[in-house]
A = this chain, B = another copy of it.
Amino acid sequence: MSVSSALIMRRARRDDVNTIVHLLADDALGSTRERLEDPLPSAYFEAFDAIEKNPDVSFMVAEDAAGAVAGCLQLCILQGLSSQGASRAIIESVRVASHCRSRGIGEQMVQWAIAESRARGCRLVELLTHQSRIDAQRFYARLGFAPTHVGMTMRF
């Protein structure tokens, strides 16, 4: 049995925040954006508490058979008026622990997000992936996403 087949997707808990932030930072782009102090900056916990209260945002972790967190993603449901009042889902912060990659964990997580988006009545799932993440773009294309849009950003 592959490791990935025993994965469980569950909502992140406050005591996962440290692990999640390390996952977010374990990445070429993420390493420049996070602050891995001990203890972590309180902004992470404040953000977690806000997410937990928000019914439209789910921060999920993939837990392996041993109970360890192997990956994470955030799923947001956005209400809108366009496309006949359709809700859309946005997938963000997809990360797989570096020692757990190439086992299909990312695919299971994203398939969970797609299924959840359907179950919640979304008619569209979208995500932004950095232009430099060619492997990620190939991965999402394999799962059925099309590179239909340009993702434009402004950082303050």
**Smallest distance from the beta carbon of A10 to chain B beta carbons, Å?**
16
Question: How many copies of this chain?
Answer: 2
Question: When the two chains form their complex, are residues A130 and B149 in contact, meaning their CB atoms are under 8 A apart?
Answer: yes
Q: How far is the CA of A147 from the CA of B40 in the complex (A)?
A: 31
**B93 in contact with A80 (CB, 8 Å):** yes
* Chain A positions 4-35 with a Cβ under 8 Å from a chain B Cβ: 17, 20-21, 24, 30, 33-35
Instruction: Sort chain A's interface into a size bin.
Output: 35 or more
**Nearest Cβ distance between residue A127 and chain B, in whole angstroms?**
5
Residues of B within 8 A of A108 (CB): none
The winner among A50, A76, A128 for most chain B CB atoms within 10 A is A128
Question: Which of the candidate stretches A51-59, A62-70, A99-107 sits at the interface with the other chain?
Answer: A51-59
User: What chain B residues lie within 8 Å of A144 (beta carbons)?
Assistant: 154
Beyond the given pairs A41-B84, A57-B78, 10 more chain A to chain B contacts, judged by CB atoms under 8 angstroms and listed by A's residue number, are A33-B82, A34-B82, A35-B84, A43-B84, A46-B85, A48-B81, A128-B149, A131-B150, A141-B152, A145-B153
Which residues of A line the B interface, CB within 8 A? 17, 20-21, 24, 30, 33-35, 41, 43-48, 50-51, 54, 56-57, 59, 74, 76, 78-87, 90, 92-93, 114, 117-118, 122-131, 137, 140-141, 143-156
